[in-house]
Structure 1
């Protein structure tokens, strides 16, 4: 098909509804995450020192990760068996109810740390099911030729939400907590409405000839045997796990950079701004060559930006470092998601997406827990510096352990060896 004949994803009605739904829900959930972190830290600081309060911030990440870890064997199978639209609808409804409940508790003056921890668990459950469903649904909405652009555009929805969410959450919470939670509930309800507008789309029939347990194992086996996909997934996992800073932003904002809730929102939007800029670029200029080397270089840049953030005491330098880190991280996300989507058969996308979602959550939520725990030992600055240095070491190790990643020229599976050949090359 000629390039001019390839439809842009946003010209397709189902994808437009998907895009808007994902944008609205990401704004809402990221705004809510910022508010939960701020509330946990504020409540904890009433009776605890910085290190103890940072530890509780880490607990928020852990409580979101545990449900996803426990449910991973199930959620991918669910996404490959049932209508992915209804899975997205159900999880969005759960998020809407959860946000409304937190709003009511805040309004009534009854909000406590246990309530916030329960809310974190419910968010983890919702994300466990929604991640594989959303990732497996997007390729069903566009022609295969449009998929790389669809991945970039879908990432724009997520990253734009990451920009707007923290800023909107911080500003609205500074106006009044009731306004913040009310707005979040409305955005999630709107997202739910848009998911209902996605019409019926083709989905592969479930594999009736395979037992559920065998089908679950198939997803893990596919990722294990495709070394290129395995390299991309695990590199992102360990780097963000070690070098993530999201959980510690309330600490840096309040006690190191000394800014209020609005400044905290601006700071928290930094990575999203950089990532969205990169996403917009890729939506018009998709990456085509030397994808592996570019991913490795971007990960090193990400680690250096995190190191800069850790040692900075100037607000705008810290903000700029997070913007650069977000742009570099987006390159890694773009390469990883493109490899997964283009190398995975449609009938397995839910299960492979579940494995990918587990690693993403491990790198994000479990990374938040790791940051909080390390900050309780080394202090927040020491924890960030340790993570940045460790991330550079991991990248160099992966470049040596997985030559398939260094040698990946394009996203096209035809340009790479089969998993069997990859294994033979390593043995």
Structure 2
């Protein structure tokens, strides 16, 4: 670069354009814009070198021509051809100047002072010309060296640019290979992710379908539960009505017990009176046999009448007891029907709960509410069963007390029904 800067300063006014051209071409060649600019810069450097070579050859031809002219004049004037050149120039230039001086001195020695002064002027002009030619030759040599160095630098830059181009091409190939590999890997991953998304979508659709079926089943079970709850409420109301009826029956039975006690007491009193009268009749048997017989007949008639009345009342009471037994049998049948309906409602619920329990492992979050509802329903059923058992126990106790009070055996069907309950 120092050579380039030194070459940018023209030594004379002759080589200014040439140096500017070489500098411009070298600067253009140093800025690689594209392939065309590289070719132009190389061509510019070559043309600059050719111009410098032509200028140096022209200067050498000029110097040779001047030397030949001087030699011709020297041979004609008989000058010294083997004189040494001065220190400031080349041998040819000095030889030419020496021959011209010798020719001018020897050929025109006797012409006078005017000729001597003219020769001196010619000698000084030729020496100035030689000096300028020598200076131009040196500058041409320096310019040639600079052009050669510039050409070598440009060739080195061209080689570096070619190597950089090859490196960039190789790097681009490697980068494109890596990009293709990354694209293939990304495409593979995208395909895998798409497949996974499709599978997940299918599983989600299956889960949604199963959830819909489960929701429909749950709605059906809820409807069944509502119907069962309504039936249980109806049965509870019927049980309440039965309890009220049993209370009224127990009240009526207590009234009947009171009436039977009164009749028993009356009969006991009557029996006591009869015994007294019989004793009096025995004491007065002999005296009043006919009257006693008549009285006995009257008493027997009255006793038969009372017995008939007692049998009628007993039959009425037995009819009442039969009606009560029929009512109890109807109550037992209702309880059996209630139990069968409850069993029929509970068995499908149990099967449905088992089937739901097998699927709740996959959908715990969605079926937890159903489990809670089933547990609540079970608790309600257990509470209802406990209430029914308590009621049946109360009814059995009432029937036992009633049978013990009436001295009537409890029907085996009722006992079995209560035992089953």
For the criterion TM > 0.5, the same-fold answer is no
Q: TM-score interval w.r.t. the shorter chain?
A: under 0.3
TM-score by length of 1: 0.21
Q: Which has the higher contact order (CA 8 A, sep 6+)?
A: 1
From the two aligned structures, give the one with the greater helix fraction. Answer: 2
**Considering only CA atoms, is the larger Rg found in Structure 1 or Structure 2?**
2
